């Protein structure tokens, strides 16, 4: 996959040179090109923003630097690409969106700053995304989060191909609790079922605990979620157990 990022602050992307994403770049599984679009400004002071027509607070990104940076990107690669604008009004980015973008060959991220964009910039864009209902100082951190979440789903980026399949949200549920050695630490034991080698029981425990974590922390994720017969049974058990815990906790107050 090839990723171009239009940004005023390319040095902010240094964290992507580390860990698995950096290794993916080294192994040519991922190409990351940072484009400082200030270089496409049209005056000696390298201004990329200006006051909005009609008045208003703040400054807007001018269209010329973004358009001309995109001209060079399109000239270097005439193939299909998804051009992503980071904007609070965009589609909320989630695991499904990451999996969708991971199927693409070429992504372009446009990171804004100041009060917003000249509206004409949106004509270059295929997708608008937001990390949530909050406003950040710029699109760099949001784009890094999206790149990290997307790139790890590219085949071969993660060492274990099974890892993405068990991630939180991958099947609509939060991930189940996990443990490693030692089996006992400071009075806390690894559940026996995980140590007995019975893969069927382990799989059922994992599903049940995934349902429990989702039910207690993000019940909204269960709305409309399709479960098989086993999943429905385990969810009923979870609800009964958690209800019992709640009653016992209230009685102890």
Domain 184-251: give its CATH architecture: Orthogonal Bundle (1.10)
Which of these is catalytic: 94, 100, 104, 115? 115
Q: Which residues are annotated as a binding site for S-adenosyl-L-methionine?
A: 112, 131-136
pLDDT band at 214 (very low <50, low <70, confident <90, very high): very high
What's the pLDDT score for residue 55?
A: 86
Does the pLDDT at position 83 exceed 50?
A: yes
Are 132 and 107 a contacting pair, CB within 8 Å? no
CATH superfamily of 2-151: SPOUT methyltransferase, trefoil knot domain (3.40.1280.10)
Catalytic member of 4, 152, 164, 209: 152
> In this predicted model, which residue has the larger pLDDT, 179 or 171?
179
Domain residue spans of the chain: 2-151, 184-251
- The yes-or-no answer on residue 152 being catalytic is yes
Instruction: Name the residue among 194, 46, 66 with its Cα closest to residue 118.
Output: 66
Give the rounded distance of the alpha carbon of 164 from its chain centre.
13
Q: What pLDDT, on a 0 to 100 scale, did the predictor assign at position 162?
A: 47
- Among 10, 52, 63, 88, the one annotated catalytic: 88
- The 10 Å CB-count burial string (b at 16+, else e) for 154-173 is beebbeeeeebeebbbbebb
List the binding residues: 112, 131-136
Residues 46-58: pLDDT tens digits?
999 999 999 888 8
Q: Is 167 a catalytic residue?
A: yes
Q: Is 91 a catalytic residue?
A: no
Q: Has this prediction a pTM greater than 0.75?
A: yes
115 is a catalytic site residue:
yes
188-189 and 116-117 beta bridge pairing: unpaired
H/E stretch holding 188? strand 188-189
Of the residues 167, 177, 204, 213, only one is catalytic, namely 167
């Amino acid at each position: 996959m090839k990723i171009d990022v239009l940004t005023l602050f390319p040095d902010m992307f240094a964290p992507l040179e580390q860990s698995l994403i950096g290794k993916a770049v080294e192994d040519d599984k991922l190409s990351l090109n940072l484009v400082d679009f200030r270089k496409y400004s049209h005056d000696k002071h390298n201004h990329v923003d200006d006051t909005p027509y009609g008045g208003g607070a703040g400054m807007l990104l001018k269209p010329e630097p973004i358009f001309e940076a995109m001209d060079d990107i399109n000239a270097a690669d005439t193939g299909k690409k998804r051009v992503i604008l980071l904007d609070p009004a965009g589609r909320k980015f989630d695991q499904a969106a990451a999996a969708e973008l991971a199927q693409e060959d070429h992504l372009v991220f446009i990171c804004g700053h100041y009060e917003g964009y000249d509206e004409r910039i949106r004509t270059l864009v295929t997708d608008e995304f937001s990390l949530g209902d909050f406003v950040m100082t710029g699109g760099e951190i949001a784009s890094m989060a999206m790149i990290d979440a997307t790139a790890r789903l590219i085949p071969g980026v993660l060492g274990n191909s099974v890892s993405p399949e068990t991630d939180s949200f991958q099947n609509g549920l939060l991930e189940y609790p996990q443990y490693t050695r030692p089996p006992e630490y400071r009075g806390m034991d690894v559940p026996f079922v995980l140590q007995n080698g019975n893969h069927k029981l382990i799989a059922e425990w994992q599903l049940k605990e995934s349902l429990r974590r989702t039910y207690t922390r993000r019940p909204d994720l269960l709305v409309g979620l399709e479960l098989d017969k086993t999943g429905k049974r385990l969810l009923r058990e979870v609800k009964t157990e958690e209800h019992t815990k709640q009653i016992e906790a209230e009685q102890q107050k």
